[in-house]
Amino acid sequence: MASLSDIEKLALALSEQERAKLAAKLIESLPDSQSDDDEGAISFKKVNSSMLRRVRYDPKQKVLDVVFRTGETYRYKDVPVDEYHKLMRADSVGRYMQTHIIDHYETLKLES
């Protein structure tokens, strides 16, 4: 079995695009669940979108984390819970994201 150090070396040897694809596959392999922790944070949920892979919302911190198809993950701050629910109920999650979330909330790119 490879050590964490060995795995890290292998991952760093990949190109940025290969790392993004690997991160996306790892995220896709995670199980879906509604609420796993004591804080009430919602775990990543798969979404049916050509733009996004997974979404999670933490109602306590009011942060929305989004994993895009590229494998990049972004955090949107101070997002109201009703905005999250509207996103998840939207006919087009990607279109809702572009219209109501992107460029409307402070954004932080998370490490993959």
Best CA proximity match to 24, nearest among 51, 4, 54: 54
Q: What is the pTM of this model?
A: 0.65
**In the chain, pLDDT over 70 holds for what percent of residues?**
75
- Check pLDDT > 50 for residue 36: no
**Greater pLDDT, 36 or 10:** 10
- Check pLDDT > 80 for residue 56: yes
Q: What is the pLDDT of residues 18-29, one digit of tens each?
A: 776 666 666 566
**Greater pLDDT, 12 or 35:** 12
Residue with tokens 């292998």: 10
Q: In what order do the strands lie in the sheet with 63-68?
A: 45-46, 52-58, 63-68, 73-77, 107-110
